[in-house]
Amino acid sequence: MHVQMRARRAAAALAAALTWAGLLAGCTSHGLDDVLGKAPAPEEFISVTPDDGSRAVPAGRRLRVRVPSGRLESVTVVRSLDAQDSPVPGHLSADGLLWEPDAPRLVLAAKYTVDVVALDVRGRRSARHAVFTTFVPDRRFIGYLTPEDRSTVGTGMIVSLQFNRAIENRAAVERAVRVTARPAVEIRPHWFGNDRLDFRPEEYWKPGTTVTVALRLRDVEGAPGVYGLQYKTVSFAVGRSQVSLVDASAHTMKVRRDGELIATVPITAGAPGTTTYNGKMVVMEMLKVTRMDSRTVGFGGEYDIPDVPHALRLTGSGTFLHGNYWAPDAPGHVNVSHGCVGLRDVRGGGSDTPAGWFYDRSLVGDVVEVVGSDDKKVAPDNGLGGWNMSWSRWKAGGAAA
């Protein structure tokens, strides 16, 4: 009897040992981690693209986080750029297997840190940390913008970007600049050569319009190996309408405010041989006093006036509307200038003179149109002369489809 009981106990112990051995064997063949409840290795289960440790990743690569099954529980991406950290917003696919950033392009010259937590089909968590850096370009381009941010301008203002490098991929750069208005109006781009991009509506802006310029040029490849630097938004307000009509043959300037004639001012324009351009010009800058040296505009040493008062620049080539104190009898009677439009003034500039009165009532962006001169029409790219181009021709100057 005792022998039988000992035999049964030995058999049971042997069976238990064999069962545990079989379980261990099963763990070995099917993965001990499954039995012990551990999640699979994170680098095998969670895929981060670009790979952890990648360097010089181009902007065209896509950032993606994937799992083959289960679901992504959380994805946190931080971008470090110019000593500042910012979160990268993104979204999960409907099945929870894929995360992508909302903005598909990577930012150049940045470090990306990715932290992921995922659940497999059994609800076990895995976590992965990855870091990669993007390509740092040697050369950059920027666009110098007219007008200034938060300025109030006249209704003739043209948005102009002058680039510091020649742009070969004009379509890509054009698409990275968005100009909008409130109230809305159609605004179209026009390229002048390969380094200047202007924007304007068909007609002058309506008073009270707010214009916003979104520059999304950062990391846009403007030419082989040359990438944009700017990512900012600026805006400006359009003030009242003021359009002045200079009649060079009649020696007068009629100033209209919001369509109403408010003054007729005597002027002197370009003398024979140095006539004033015809056409629509836009006030580009306003200088209370400036020096005018004929050698800077191709006239040799014919004049050098150190204190020209109330000067409003109309073209890039040097046409101004300004106060004239050295020929006080010319305005209203005879054209004596080297191409500028002169209004009577006094040395140092007087507030009660025609030049002072006009200066005090002007804005950058106001329109001055010249007629009756024996000269050609001002070129559309000379200053902000784009209003001298037909709308159909202007629209044909864009590069993006």
Model pLDDT for residues 54-95, shown as the tens digit of each residue: 999 998 899 999 999 999 999 999 999 876 889 999 999 999
At 166, the amino acid letter reads A
- Spot the catalytic one: 190, 251, 338, 340: 340
Q: Looking at residue 355, what is its pLDDT?
A: 98
Segment among 135-144, 277-286, 331-340, 350-359 with least mean pLDDT: 135-144
pLDDT in tens, 201-233: 999 999 999 999 999 999 999 999 999 989 999
Q: Which comes out higher in pLDDT, residue 2 or 281?
A: 281
> Averaged over 136-146, what is the pLDDT?
91
Q: Is 322 in the active site?
A: yes
> Averaged over 130-142, what is the pLDDT?
92
Picking from 286, 269, 260, the residue whose alpha carbon sits closest to that of residue 349 is: 286
pLDDT averaged over every residue in the chain? 89
Q: Give dist(CA 161, CA 88) in Å, integer.
A: 29
Q: Looking at residue 3, what is its pLDDT?
A: 39
Q: What HEC string does 311-380 produce?
A: EEECCCCCCEEEEECCCCCCCCCCCCECCCEEEECCCCCCCCCHHHHHHHCCCCCCEEEEECCCCCECCC
> Averaged over 365-392, what is the pLDDT?
98
Q: Does the structure show a pLDDT above 70 at 25?
A: no
Boundaries of every domain in the chain: 42-133, 139-239, 242-386
Q: pLDDT band at residue 38, thresholds of 50, 70 and 90?
A: low
CATH code given to domain 42-133: 2.60.40.3780
Q: pLDDT band at residue 158, thresholds of 50, 70 and 90?
A: very high
> Averaged over 360-370, what is the pLDDT?
98
CB 176 within 8 A of CB 220: yes
Q: pLDDT band at residue 240, thresholds of 50, 70 and 90?
A: very high
Instruction: Give the single-character DSSP code of 290.
Output: E
Instruction: Give the single-character DSSP code of 309.
Output: E
Q: Which comes out higher in pLDDT, residue 1 or 394?
A: 394
Q: Looking at residue 37, what is its pLDDT?
A: 54
In the chain, the percentage of residues whose pLDDT exceeds 70 is 88
120: Cβ contacts below 8 Å, ≥ 6 apart: 39, 40, 45, 67, 69, 70, 126
Segment among 69-73, 150-154, 305-309, 385-389 with least mean pLDDT: 305-309
Q: Looking at residue 245, what is its pLDDT?
A: 98
The CATH-assigned architecture of domain 139-239 is Sandwich (2.60)
Domains 42-133 and 139-239 share a fold: yes
Q: Is 27 in the active site?
A: no
Picking from 171, 195, 192, the residue whose alpha carbon sits closest to that of residue 401 is: 171
> Averaged over 340-365, what is the pLDDT?
96
Q: Looking at residue 273, what is its pLDDT?
A: 93
Please state the CATH superfamily assignment of the domain spanning residues 242-386 in this structure. Answer: L,D-transpeptidase catalytic domain-like (2.40.440.10)
Q: Which comes out higher in pLDDT, residue 104 or 1?
A: 104
CA 63 to chain centre: 24
- Spot the catalytic one: 190, 251, 310, 322: 322
Q: Looking at residue 236, what is its pLDDT?
A: 97
CB-CB neighbours of 6 under 10 Å: 10
Q: Looking at residue 132, what is its pLDDT?
A: 96
Q: Does the structure show a pLDDT above 80 at 24?
A: no
> Averaged over 21-42, what is the pLDDT?
47
Picking from 286, 293, 299, 300, the residue whose alpha carbon sits closest to that of residue 356 is: 286
